Amino acid sequence: MNREDLLHIGAIAREAGQAIMQIYASDFQVDYKGPGDPVTDADRAANSLICARLHAAFPDAAIVAEESALEAYQGYQHCARVFFVDPLDGTREFVAKNGQFVVMIGLVVETEAALGVVYAPARDTLWCGARGLGAYRVDATGERQIRVGAVDAPHAARITVSRSRRSEPLQRALNGIAPREVTPMGSAGLKGSLVAEDSVDAYLAIGQAGKHWDACAMDALVTAAGGRVTDARGEPLDYRSAELELEHGLLAANPALHRALLAKLEQLGPDGSR
């Protein structure tokens, strides 16, 4: 992947974002895939648009998208290149109309998240990055290169966590870490982007943290910005797994803080109580 590919995928995310905002401004209907799992026409429209554009531009790549039928990406584990797409990350926030939702397109090459694009249509801000190309933020003021921060002490860190998945184990872990600041935020992609641009120091999730399309784009983005992303045990995310679920949390931070937070989490134990 080169810069031209990165910009092209960013343009696809922007186009999907425009479709999302048209529905956002309307009296849209909310359906549910399961308890507490909303879906709207914006999710579906963005999913169809992104998959069509990616297939036309990268016909050899598999596309694993949240609103696609399972049959559409069966056997993706055997493709050298796999796109993971969350067409509307933060549907709860979309429904609440608080603006904290993004379009996420991530690319895995072999076993690593190699490229990521995160677009926030409500604020018209694009974050994008790729291994070997660096990471960038593009908004109304122009384009600038971004990089993770340098805070290395957990107690001095600004940590962002899920607004909707504030579990007891996560709260106990936060109590044990005692960071300087905790910011609840919708959208995993938005939280990862804030880490990449040094607006916060770390993103932490304990336990179930969504699926691979919730992580891939922000994984590539944070890594391109000089950071590190793993599960909350320190294990790399296995994008070749037959299971899409992220059952062991997420941790994104600069390398030094990432090591320190892992050590703190290990000290606290799996339930965060020690």
Q: What percent of the chain has pLDDT over 70?
A: 98
The whole-angstrom separation of Cα 251 and Cα 61 is 27
Query: For 63-119, how does the pLDDT look when each residue is reduced to its tens digit (9 = 90+)?
Result: 999 999 999 999 999 999 999 999 999 999 999 999 999 999 999 999 999 999 999
**Exposed, middle or buried: residue 146 (CB in 10 Å: 0-12, 13-18, 19+)?**
buried
User: Hey, what domains does the chain have and what are their CATH numbers?
Assistant: 3-146 (3.30.540.10), 154-268 (3.40.190.80)
The whole-angstrom separation of Cα 169 and Cα 175 is 10
pTM over 0.85? The answer is yes
